[in-house]
Amino acid sequence: MPAELIDGKVIAAGVRAEVAGEVATLKASGIVPKLAVVLVGDDPASAVYVAAKGRACVEVGMAESTIRLPATTSQGELMQLLDSLNADSTVHGILVQSPFPSQIDCSAVIRRIDPAKDVDGFHPVNVGKLMAGERDGFVPCTPAGIQELLRASNVATRGLDCVIVGRSNIVGKPMAALMVQDGPVANCTVTVCHRYTRDLAVHTRRADILITAVGRPGLITADMVKPGAAVLDVGITRIPDPTRKSGTRLVGDVDFDAVREVAGLITPVPGGVGPMTIAMLLRNTVRAAQRLATA
């Protein structure tokens, strides 16, 4: 029997509905949660992502401010803007869209954002809180979204083997930190695989939960998956497809059609993990507003 689809669109809609209710409560007390998104340069994909985040804010009743800066913006100019956003009491969440032009130091940008407004969850303070198991920081949106998908799919994670393919600071590392914690939708035995892992399939075949986030189409084949496993595909790559009007289509790291015949649960690409990232960004922003309101 083919694996059951984990419908990220439906689950994300539920999260957005919860956020909208929390936003309404805050508004009733005179607080309007606001997300400021900074885009440096004119990368087309980044522009699409930023526009989607702005629309999502409006849909749940939040305020949003998109600040577009030219590709020639200096490090100092960007830092000055971040300082002003940090100091602005009407702004509760700050996000600087990557990638950056070559003259911008990504690490310095992340560190400049006030950790209390770092709704991406990338500031070292929030990373440290995640690693320590403290719950008053912000968790990166994609790993948090994956954990929500598992929760909504009633996956009893305690004691399971969770194998993560990819060790990025955005997905792989924080995902591992989340799943190894003592708490709900966690308590797993976690293995993190990367480009130097010997015999990747040895690890993936024992995974009860397999999460892949490397951007390599078709990397995970059916013979690499444990029967009945939950497979969550973060990878997204646009490949040529002459059968499509656009001439291209989006695929993940998983050979979806083949793996679906083996797995128990699986996320599609698109429509799986992707919708959860923005939903969790909205959740982080409203939580930032709640915390700053009581500070």
Q: Is the dihedral of CA 248, 250, 252, 254 positive or negative?
A: negative
Give the tokens for residue 60.
């749940």
Indicate the DSSP class of residue 228: T
- Measured CA to CA in angstroms, residue 99 lies from 46, 103, 107, 189, 274 at distances of 8, 11, 12, 33, 18
Give the tokens for residue 109.
């940008």
The predicted pLDDT at position 207 comes to: 98
The predicted pLDDT at position 131 comes to: 96
DSSP three-state, residue 103 = coil
Confidence of residue 186 (pLDDT cuts 50, 70, 90): very high
CB atoms within 10 A of CB 183: 14
Is the model's pLDDT at 241 over the cut of 90?
no
Side chain identity at residue 246, one-letter code = S
Question: Of 201, 221, 208, 200, which is closest to residue 159 (Cα–Cα)?
Answer: 208
What's the mean pLDDT in 34-38?
Answer: 97
Indicate the DSSP class of residue 220: B
Domains in the chain with CATH codes: 30-114 (3.40.50.10860), 141-274 (3.40.50.720)
- Active site amino acids: 53, 97, 120
Comparing 107-121, 140-154, 204-218, 237-251, the range with the smallest average pLDDT is 237-251
Note if the bond before 270 is cis, omega within 30 degrees. yes
The predicted pLDDT at position 294 comes to: 77
Mean pLDDT score of the chain? 96
Q: Is the dihedral of CA 51, 252, 43, 280 positive or negative?
A: positive
Is the model's pLDDT at 295 over the cut of 80?
no
